[in-house]
């Protein structure tokens, strides 16, 4: 099992899609946020997403998303390797690392703030202004403990070039993971 981590706009979902296209079942942690927003009858936007992300963690602990998604992960692992799109907190990382041990790897996708903010502004769905993107970065680092999993990632992909290059780097990581798993 592998989790893709990184700041908003770094390219996590694109990397997760490459894993999915290579036989992994994708589990998007953000689906929990969107389900909760819909249940509350709220509009899906940055303000409500942040509110729900932080509320769920306050109410259920900083590892809430890992615990809430564990049944989906366990079910998917019966059929295939799993890629998690959107692990955020250090506590989520620690929970999954304790649960799966060496069977859990992390891939960080890194892009500069300037690159990420440009991408986020251009998004048709869930786009963010420069101010919203900077505010989200600050909130995710300070309130959601997002930096830790990025710092301890097993692999890091620098995404400052083309989408084609990003996909190529993701395929290299998949090859390395498969090679490592064969050695075990």
Superfamily per CATH, domain 2-177:
P-loop containing nucleotide triphosphate hydrolases (3.40.50.300)
Q: What per-residue confidence (pLDDT) applies to 125? A: 80
Domain ranges of the chain: 2-177
Q: What local confidence, expressed as pLDDT, does residue 63 receive?
A: 96
Closest to 2 (Cα-Cα) out of 96, 89, 104: 104
Q: Which residue is associated with the tokens 């869930």?
A: 126
| β partners of residue 107 | 4, 155
pTM value is: 0.91
- pLDDT tier at 183 (50, 70, 90 boundaries)? low
Report pLDDT for 184.
56
pLDDT by residue (tens digit) across 112-155? 999 999 999 998 887 899 999 999 999 999 988 999 999 999 99
pLDDT digits (tens, 9 = 90+) for 34-51: 999 999 999 988 889 989
pLDDT at 164: 97
């Amino acid at each position: 099992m592998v989790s893709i981590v990184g700041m908003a706009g770094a390219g996590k979902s694109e990397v997760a899609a490459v894993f999915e296209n290579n036989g992994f079942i994708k589990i998007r942690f953000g689906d929990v946020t969107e389900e909760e927003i819909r249940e509350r009858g709220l509009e899906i936007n940055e303000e409500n997403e942040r509110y729900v992300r932080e509320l769920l963690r306050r109410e259920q602990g900083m590892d809430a998303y890992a615990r809430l998604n564990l049944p989906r992960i366990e079910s998917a692992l019966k059929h295939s390797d799993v890629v998690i799109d959107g692990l955020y907190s250090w506590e989520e990382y620690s929970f999954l690392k304790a649960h799966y041990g060496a069977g859990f790897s992390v891939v960080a996708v890194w892009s500069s703030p300037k690159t990420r903010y440009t991408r986020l502004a251009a998004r048709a769905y869930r786009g963010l202004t420069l101010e919203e993107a900077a505010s989200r970065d600050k909130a995710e680092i300070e309130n959601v403990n997002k930096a830790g999993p990025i710092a301890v990632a097993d692999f890091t992909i620098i995404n400052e070039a083309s989408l084609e290059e990003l996909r190529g780097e993701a395929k290299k990581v998949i090859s390395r993971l498969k090679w490592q798993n064969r050695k075990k």
